[in-house]
Amino acid sequence: MKRVFVVHGMQRSGNHAIIQWIEAHGRFIFYNNVIPVAPILLGERTLPPEQDFRDWFRARLSRRYRFLPFSLIRLALRNRLMMLSLEDLPLDTPVFRNPPVESKAILILRDPQNMFASRIRRAWQIDHPTFPRTMGPLMERVIETWKSHAREFLGDTHQLGPCVRIYFDDWFADAAARKNISANLGLPFTDAGLERVSEVGGGSSFEGTDFDGASRKMNVLDRSTQLEPRERALFDEVFKDPELRALADRLRKEAPR
């Protein structure tokens, strides 16, 4: 195993589009949404404790590999990269300690107008605690999580330490930004995975997977104008938060590209 990437982001932030693009850069083992937040919000589970990397990884291996000495597992996977994603969780959420190779954090952030528009559209498609349909504690949690991610992205906090920061809107629109991201990840640049639309989570909140293979045709940078009246009413309630608006303005001006 050559390197481990830990991706931090929020649902409907373009996480899976970016992850699929990164996966095209090499041979990856990918673990999606390794700590699902919904059961925690529903009181069905608690946040799992941090584990030693060997124990964490071994529990996820197929039976064929699970009981091999860890040295042999590393040898078998010596040319592979690993990536795992954390969704809608605090940035200080513990996962594992003592990885045997370099571990690099990736923070994905999307402009809040587009992210909240997509989440609000999704709310009326599924009944799920991470996609609330009204203002209240669940929506406040989403707002506070986005704000904490934005503060980290802007350098106001340093919970992740050195990390690769990806602003989805720039990644989507700008080939130069994507080349810079590849360089920061230490991977040879390719756009091979750019046009994919992931089936995870049902694809886009607005078009599903209709544009798989042609994702550049989706209007992902102007989602708030596509909302229906009840959706727009909730969207306007969300954006009454003054810190949310202030952070959004700063990101447009200051976000490291």
The pLDDT tens digits for 114-173 are 999 999 999 998 999 999 999 999 999 999 999 999 999 999 999 999 999 999 989 988
SS (H, E, C) the chain: CCEEEEEEECCCCCHHHHHHHHHCCCCEEEECCCCCCHHHHCCCCCCCCCEEHHHHHHCCCCHHHHCCCHHHHHHHCCCCEEEEEEECCCCCCCCEECCCCCEEEEEEECCHHHHHHHHHHHHCCCCCCCCCCCCCHHHHHHHHHHHHHHHHHHCCCCCCCCEEEEEHHHHHHCHHHHHHHHHHHCCCCCCCCCCCCCCHHHCECCCECCCCCCHHHCCCCCHHHHCCHHHHHHHHHHCCCHHHHHHHHHHHHHCCC
CATH number of 3-254: 3.40.50
The pLDDT tens digits for 118-128 are 999 999 989 99
pTM score of the predicted model: 0.86
pLDDT tier at 220, thresholds 50, 70, 90 = low
Query: Could you state, in order of their start, the residue ranges of all structural domains in the chain?
Result: 3-254
